[in-house]
Amino acid sequence: MQKLTHTDLLSLEIYSRERSDFRTRVVAHKRERTVHLGPHLTFLFEDRLTVQYQIQEMLRIERIFEPDAIAAELLTYNSLIPDGTNLKATLMIEYADVEERRRALLAMRGIEHGFTLQVAGCSVSVATADEDLDRSNEEKTSAVHFLRFELAPASITAWHQDAEVSLAVAHPAYTYRCILNSGQQKVLAADFD
C-alpha cells in the first residue's frame, strides 16, 4: 500500500468544505476494519484512508499548513500504513468508568506484548508493539497502543483462500480470542495487495 504524500492531502480550505462527506465515508470504512476482542479491547486496522483522515484532522485542529510541518505529520502517520506483508492496528483499551479503567490499565501492564494473529494451519504472528515509543511503565499501560502483525507468505496465501483467522491476547488480566468474520477477512485482505 502506497504511503501518503503531500499531494494526497487536501488544503485546509478544501478539507473544511469536504470534511462532513469525507468523515461519513471514513466512519463507514473504519466500521468494516474494526475488531472487538472481548468487552474492552477494540482494534482499528489502519490503512491509507484511515491514516489520511487522521492526518487531515491533525492539520485542521493544529492549523498546520507549512510544508515542513505537513512533512513531519506524514512521516509520523505513514508508519501506520501496512506495506503488503503486515497488518497495522491501533488498539484501544476501553472502560466507560474512570476508576475501573484506572484499575484495568494498572493490571494490564505489558498486555501490548501478548497479542497474536493466526491464519489456520499457519504460523502464529506475534504483534510488535509501539515501535515509536514505549507506552507501558511500572505503574500502568497506556489506553492506546500501535501494533504490527507481520505475516509469512503462506499465511497471506491462506488468508486469500478464506482460511479462518483468529486474533487473541494472552495476559493474566485479560485473555480472549476471536475469529474474524468473513467481511473483516475480506476487507483486511486488501492490505496485502
Please report, rounded to a whole number, the percentage of residues in the chain having pLDDT higher than 90: 89
Within a domain: 80: yes
pLDDT on residue 21? 97
Residue 192 sits at φ, ψ, to 5 deg, of: -90, -5
Measured between alpha carbons, how far is 23 from 58 in angstroms, rounded to an integer?
13
The number of distinct structural domains making up the chain is: 1
The predicted-structure confidence for 121-156, as pLDDT tens digits, reads as follows: 999 999 999 877 666 667 789 999 999 999 999 999
Q: Do the domain assignments include residue 10?
A: yes
CB 169 within 8 A of CB 111: yes
Q: What percent of the chain has pLDDT over 70?
A: 97
Residue 1 lies in a domain: no
- In this structure, are residues 154 and 134 in contact, taking their beta carbons and an 8 Å threshold? no
**Domain residue limits at 169:** 6-192
> For the segment 7-40, what is each residue's pLDDT rounded down to a tens digit?
999 999 999 999 999 999 999 999 999 999 999 9
**Residues paired with residue 119 on neighbouring β-strands, in sequence order:** 165
Q: Which amino acid is at 96?
A: A
Residues 6+ apart with CB under 8 A from 6: 67, 70, 71, 74
Kindly report which listed range (76-80, 83-87, 129-133, 150-154) carries the lowest average pLDDT score. 129-133
User: What is the reported pLDDT for 131?
Assistant: 75
Q: Above 80 in pLDDT, residue 176?
A: yes
pLDDT, position 137: 67
pTM of the full structure: 0.91
Q: Does 94 score more than 80 pLDDT?
A: yes
Residue at 40 is within a domain: yes
Specify whether the CB–CB gap between 129 and 111 falls below 8 A.
no
- Note the pLDDT of residue 135: 65
What's the N-to-C CA distance of the chain in angstroms? 7
In angstroms, how far is CA 161 from the centroid of its own chain? Answer: 23
Say if 37 falls within a structural domain: yes
- Mean pLDDT on 169-177: 97
Amino acid at the residue 73: E
- Phi then psi for 55, rounded to 5 degrees? -65, -45
Cα 179 to chain centroid, rounded? 17
| pLDDT higher than threshold 90 for residue 1 | no
**Would 122 be classed as within a structural domain?**
yes
